[in-house]
Amino acid sequence: MEVQPLSKQTGLTLLELMIALALGLVISSAAVMLFLTGQKTYSLQQGVVDIQDNANFGLGYITKDLRYINLNTNSSLMNDRTHFGGVVLTSSENADKDTDGVTLLSNLTKTITGSTAAVKLLSQSEIGPSNVQTGGVGAKSDQLVIQYKPQYILDDKGTTGSDEKTLDDEWVGGFDCEGTEIRFLVKEKKKDKDGKDVIVDRPQRMVVQRYFLREDDNKANNEPNTPLALACDSGWYTDDTNPAAIENYGDAGQIIMKRVDYFHVMLGIENAGNHRYISIKNYMKLTSPKPRILAVQFGVLARSSQSVGNDATLKEDQVFSVLDQDVQAVMTTGKPKYVRQAVSQTVALRNAFGERGQ
């Protein structure tokens, strides 16, 4: 009988096993570090993309609307006394009086009184909430109010015959900042002094739009501070009668840019050939008649909607320059960090140039 030789068993020595385990731990740790670093980088990039998308859309939307300032108004000259003036600084509540001591010189029609003529609904500095401080003191955001008369297009319904059949024709002037179509009837039926029915032209409308910060009701549980958003509130009044109020004005408006910690506005003015930018507050302190307004400059401190964890590269005491203001975000201890970026835009008011109406 042939005897098979015993096979020699082989295996890892204790030293080899320890080395293999150590190498496995090193490789696993490296993989985990790569994963965590990738997640952190991804979160940071998502935060930056979030801000850029939000800012590009929001600022582009506002900039387009600001180019309507002073459109189709009586005069290209624009200051705090100009009737229908595109930057709304005055109403019957705070207007200067003419040399007769009676006539009000205001941007809004002087017959507009009450709540919609309130100073708090006009362009102002330091009136709204913010999440920033300057020099350790809490700062407030600005508010910008503009007005313009749209370029109306007649929507002729095609009816013919008597004037009765033209009562369905409408003026169309695009959309306001809340997304509402500007559309109303061209004519209406009224009673004359003898009680007879007459068809008259309806006056066209001036559109008023207010840009401001307010708290967003749609918020997350881990917000680092008050979830503010840049909103726009729109209203209208007729341009050739004696309106008593601005219709549909003075409410919460529609959000056009989420997560804005600060909103600041400056006016570009011209006086004796000299040009400079000045805050609304300082402009209103100037001696009357005040300089001509030719441009609007606005800036925001935007932050991402999504947190980026506790990335050490994001400093809580970072200073941001928003136009002429250096601000710091007010942080809540223990909350995750967010990406922030200061973004600004300058808009030359083409409807404020020239000598129209002067």
pLDDT in tens, 253-299: 999 999 999 999 999 999 888 999 999 999 999 999 999 999 999 99
Partner residues linked to 295 by β-bridges: 268, 348
Closest by CA position to 116, among listed 250, 257, 302, 311: 250
Instruction: Count each helix (H run) and each strand (E run) in the chain, helices first.
Output: 2, 20
Task: For residue 275, give the nearest of 349, 217, 332, 213 by alpha carbon.
Answer: 349
Which tokens go with 166?
Answer: 């033209």
* 143 pLDDT tier (thresholds 50, 70, 90): very high
Of all helices (H) and strands (E), which one includes residue 54? helix 14-66
Cβ partners under 8 Å of residue 234, min gap 6: 176, 177, 178, 180, 207, 208, 209, 210, 248, 249, 253
Cβ contacts of residue 151 below 8 Å, gap of 6+?
71, 72, 173, 174
pLDDT at 29 over 80: no
Mean pLDDT check: name the lowest of 40-54, 80-94, 181-195, 333-347.
40-54
Distance, in Å, from the CA atom of 254 to the CA atom of 146, rounded to the nearest integer, reads 16
Average pLDDT over residues 147-154: 97
| Angular region, 285: left φ>0, alpha ψ -120 to 50, beta rest | alpha
Residues 228-247: what's their mean pLDDT? 95
Question: What is the chain's mean pLDDT, rounded?
Answer: 88
What's at 115, amino acid-wise?
S
- Best CA proximity match to 329, nearest among 53, 125, 130: 130
* 1: pLDDT strictly greater than 70: no
Average pLDDT for 92-99: 91
Domain-wise residue ranges, the chain: 18-149+204-352
Name the band, by pLDDT with cuts 50, 70 and 90, for residue 191: confident
95 versus 334: the higher-pLDDT residue is 95
Q: Which residue has better confidence, 108 or 163?
A: 108
Give residue-wise pLDDT tens across range 55-69: 778 889 999 999 999
Question: Percentage of residues in the chain with pLDDT exceeding 70?
Answer: 88
Helix (H, G, I), strand (E, B) or coil at 250: coil
The pLDDT assigned to 331 comes to 76
Q: Which of 33-37, 134-138, 233-237 has the highest mean pLDDT?
A: 233-237
DSSP secondary structure letter of residue 195: S
Residue 7 has pLDDT above 70, yes or no: no
pLDDT single digits (tens) 209-219? 999 999 999 98
- Check residue 37 and give its pLDDT: 63
Q: Which of 303, 296, 269, 298 is nearest to 285 (CA)?
A: 269
pTM attached to this predicted model: 0.86
Backbone φ and ψ of 297, nearest 5°: -120, 130
Q: How confident is the model at residue 107 (pLDDT cuts 50, 70, 90)?
A: very high
More confident residue, 70 or 31: 70
